[in-house]
Structure 1
């Protein structure tokens, strides 16, 4: 769960679909630097320059215009990207991915198909995740070859089937299913709707000056509008044929479940209070703590609702719940009634319906998120009591207007929330949310505040620092509580982006990344020096408000697995301190091998081993 310029899961998915799997992982190594110029080392996102570009028309109008209308802007953007790659030694794979993804889209924009394969080859060389090493840039190469050789969609489908079909299924199945799901629901009308609802507003507010990220998004979406529609059916059919051909393949080995344990109801254990600092919890589904919880609204002001009200959308809850489940089923390539309904809905949406639909889905995501997380955090622990730390974040597509007063209010809310945890005698807090200075920077840009791009960057850092320092101080001031954070779902570095809480380093804070049940790092999982453990975060089953069960994926689902272990250790051995529990989790975790067969960055928790290290007999 994140706070950002485009806050809803659906909106992000629409824009990702616009870019398509052709750019899903187009990292690339920096170009050779001039021998005479030493590049400046960049270890944080704020060390990179910011730029604005003047659009000749609204983003939605450019999205509908011929490619030629974007080529002058593309030339400016490409020159700036290449200059940055020569001037800076960027120590972050995700930033390089974004840069070279943009360069690939810009090459496509000008019809330079021969330039594309070199970028994808560099991408594959830098991929660390097994699936990414094999699938990165494959469709990009095929589309480039198709365009260069004037091949038809049937050729593209046959080549996609051949290339993907030759890959080891165990390594690529999640990537191919996700790509197929995204392509199947691609609809240019949806992308146009996002342009009209959000990007047009940002451009209008800025007097038609937009940041490089928005221009890159626009160009990528426009290029994919050119390439995907005539080839969509052939590519989806090719991916489906590969999936079907492997339908009888053995499932991935489950190394996660044998590591877990449940506490018997008659065990000699002590009640433990687990706080779920999230978007709201349906406490009727759990044993509530005595204090029940504390809530704050999107402006950092005290609120009364511990479970987010659906408001006028309450009557649509059954349909919205089905759509959320359908989106998850679609991503997993499951042809269920919910996924069919989701595909039908997406295919039928018109541009002017996208804003309302996106906000409905965003609201639904916020409504289910905290309860789903809580269900994971207390699973198998009859001694757990839930305390709701509710943040009623906005589901609107427009970000709130940043100000120092709002930042101070949020800072005060963090302090008050942690004080509430202390009063309620909370021992473990799960925090499946994160954001960084880019959230402030995007909001400032949307509202045309903060001055020049460089001034805006500094203002965003100043406002973000108010919240960051307050949160860090609040957590540090509660040494008896173990805080568990989700890393993020952007396949980037939490510390490079300065995420909170994931990028913080404190004795009583531990940050978790996500793997699947086989222990393979999830393609979406954020990493970095602060991400020190991993847990299952792929298609995790849990409850949503009302008690219906649903499978969701994300580091939001991995983090409460770690909180679950912490709460069980404390329930069975209540004298443990937060520092001792963290140490037991780290000592019990097992380093997994990477795609090269050597120990990688995945450090998979082992609840049974940690319990044994604590002297607990199961």
Structure 2
């Protein structure tokens, strides 16, 4: 449930959208009657929660005619319309979700003419250049194909025409990841995920599911209707655009010239840097004298500082290749690993999905902390690594939440920070995040917490126990500088509460992700607490055993900031966390947005921060 901030193509995530940044396919052109007064909504917990009773298991709906879902869809659509009319939602990402829901429900009704109106409304709320151009386009083309009764050849040509007209520099990353997701779409993955997860959730709840899950069922059923017959045409159209731009000049590298390394013979002092993460292979680094401490998913003390693979250990070489292949596929690279990944995804059967998803989740947790540590110490021979290991679960079934469990996790936060203080840690990197919505989902899975509104309050109560403990622990260590990753949901950390990214403390800073050119990544979360950015796209770093992989996520951006802090401390040990934060912020550069105005990206400049600290490089 705690989520490392690394992006991958997950076997359990079956193409949540048909276009980069878009919602599930569909929209309706129903006019929403405005009301004189609407309730202002500035936080996710202010929105209502609802549930629906199914007539059959979720996986059964995948094989049922669309008409079997229309009654559920009509009720959902009425509630979505009521929310849009009754609430003044002050969050663009949430409004995009609502418009996407209207899109999906209109498609369920066969109202293809309504699609462009809703996709256009969602696209107008996109703030990132690539999504502002490309989101919803495939959805619109599929709707147009339906209306005009066009064949796959028409669709291929239109995909190529529409995307070729977009500025390549802005949309290339979106198009590559979209192609990667569609190319690996396998209906068996959908069925397997439904059988192993949604069916179990529905059985636990006596066929009662939250509205979001019901909408997911409708979206997945529509994808099964629309995508398989058009998959090859869409991929071919996108590939033609990629081929036409294969010789395009790469984006200018703003990031690398800003970085610096400390010479091994520099007048510097050792600095202990903690990687509070999923585990670290300390054999690859200079370990701190106190090597670290570990806790399991229930908040209980554990021994392993590097996550054991257990019975999956013999499969590690294959899993490592699949992780690399998933990232190569996301980047539209045709490599042996990406070909193996595509072949594995295409060959999976429904009954293999649960095991495969958990294997990939385990492998992701296994590599995550070590990869983060490699970024945090790059170019700093004076850094010593302390492993603050959280052995998060790789199982697809979420934990059963309770107050004793929340108190145990809260106690583990306090103990971890106490361990940092005792070990003389100066900088802590936290490339993970979670919020109360994850708690709601876990409670709903196990049919705990009562009705939807009561469950929301119970999730908030349990989350608050852990949130307050983490805040108090960090605030109680003013001598330590903490760095958090923003999150990979392309949403606002102001609207969706997260920890640690949403905390505001003098000795904590939260980082979002850009690519080498300084462009905000399509996945990076934003908000008032996300005050700096660093490279988090295809960052090269070691994984356990020493092999290097390129991974993406705000997980990879946050340790770039921790790296800078540790270097400043090695060269200027007297700096306090408040001073470090000020130097990082003063050295950062506010990059312009598409209109040339100061934008959201505040890109750190390690060389400038060092100069401001009086360090000669």
TM-score, normalised with respect to structure 2: 0.97
Q: How does 1:97-496 map to 2 (within 5 A)?
A: 97-496=96-495
Deviation (angstroms), 1:511: 0.3
Tell me what 2:22 maps to: 24
Provide the rounded CA distance (Å) in 1 between the counterparts of 2:464 and 2:488: 22
Moved more, 21-30 or 173-182: 21-30
Provide the rounded CA distance (Å) in 2 between the counterparts of 1:617 and 1:570: 14
Deviation (angstroms), 1:37: 3.0
Tell me what 2:549 maps to: 550
Aligned residues: 616
Tell me what 1:68 maps to: 67
Q: Is the 8 A contact 1:313 1:360 kept in 2?
A: yes
CA-to-aligned-CA distance 1:366-400 (integer Å, 9 cap, x gap): 00000000000000000000000000000000001
Tell me what 1:531 maps to: 530
Deviation (angstroms), 1:217: 1.1
Moved more, 589-598 or 564-573: 589-598
Deviation (angstroms), 1:126: 1.7
Task: Give the CA RMSD over aligned residues.
Answer: 1.8
Deviation (angstroms), 1:583: 0.5
Provide the rounded CA distance (Å) in 1 between the counterparts of 2:21 and 2:109: 16
Q: Is the 8 A contact 1:8 1:361 kept in 2?
A: no
| SS of corresponding position for 1:469 | helix
Deviation (angstroms), 1:182: 0.3
Q: Is the 8 A contact 1:8 1:359 kept in 2?
A: no
Q: Is the 8 A contact 2:17 2:23 kept in 1?
A: no
Go from structure 1 to structure 2 and tell me whether the alpha carbon gap of 1:347 and 1:18 turns closer, same or farther (over 3 Å shift): farther
CA-to-aligned-CA distance 1:221-242 (integer Å, 9 cap, x gap): 1111111100000110111111
| SS of corresponding position for 1:15 | coil
Provide the rounded CA distance (Å) in 2 between the counterparts of 1:528 and 1:228: 34
Match for residue 13 of structure 2 among 2, 12, 15: 15
Q: Is the 8 A contact 1:18 1:188 kept in 2?
A: no
Deviation (angstroms), 1:24: 2.3
Provide the rounded CA distance (Å) in 2 between the counterparts of 1:12 and 1:217: 16
Provide the rounded CA distance (Å) in 2 between the counterparts of 1:111 and 1:235: 21
Deviation (angstroms), 1:260: 0.5
Q: Is the 8 A contact 1:156 1:235 kept in 2?
A: yes
**Unaligned segments of structure 1, at least 5 residues:** none
Deviation (angstroms), 1:26: 7.9
Provide the rounded CA distance (Å) in 1 between the counterparts of 2:141 and 2:11: 23
Tell me what 1:96 maps to: 95
| SS of corresponding position for 1:291 | strand
| SS of corresponding position for 2:582 | helix
Tell me what 1:505 maps to: 504
Tell me what 2:518 maps to: 519
Go from structure 1 to structure 2 and tell me whether the alpha carbon gap of 1:15 and 1:142 turns closer, same or farther (over 3 Å shift): same
Go from structure 1 to structure 2 and tell me whether the alpha carbon gap of 1:370 and 1:364 turns closer, same or farther (over 3 Å shift): same
Deviation (angstroms), 1:119: 1.1
Provide the rounded CA distance (Å) in 1 between the counterparts of 2:545 and 2:124: 47
| SS of corresponding position for 2:561 | helix
Deviation (angstroms), 1:497: 1.1
Tell me what 1:84 maps to: 83
Go from structure 1 to structure 2 and tell me whether the alpha carbon gap of 1:123 and 1:468 turns closer, same or farther (over 3 Å shift): same
Tell me what 1:582 maps to: 581
Provide the rounded CA distance (Å) in 2 between the counterparts of 1:310 and 1:360: 9
Provide the rounded CA distance (Å) in 2 between the counterparts of 1:150 and 1:35: 35
Provide the rounded CA distance (Å) in 1 between the counterparts of 2:145 and 2:435: 40
Q: Is the 8 A contact 2:188 2:348 kept in 1?
A: yes
Deviation (angstroms), 1:117: 0.3
Provide the rounded CA distance (Å) in 2 between the counterparts of 1:189 and 1:18: 15
| SS of corresponding position for 2:288 | strand
Moved more, 123-132 or 144-153: 123-132
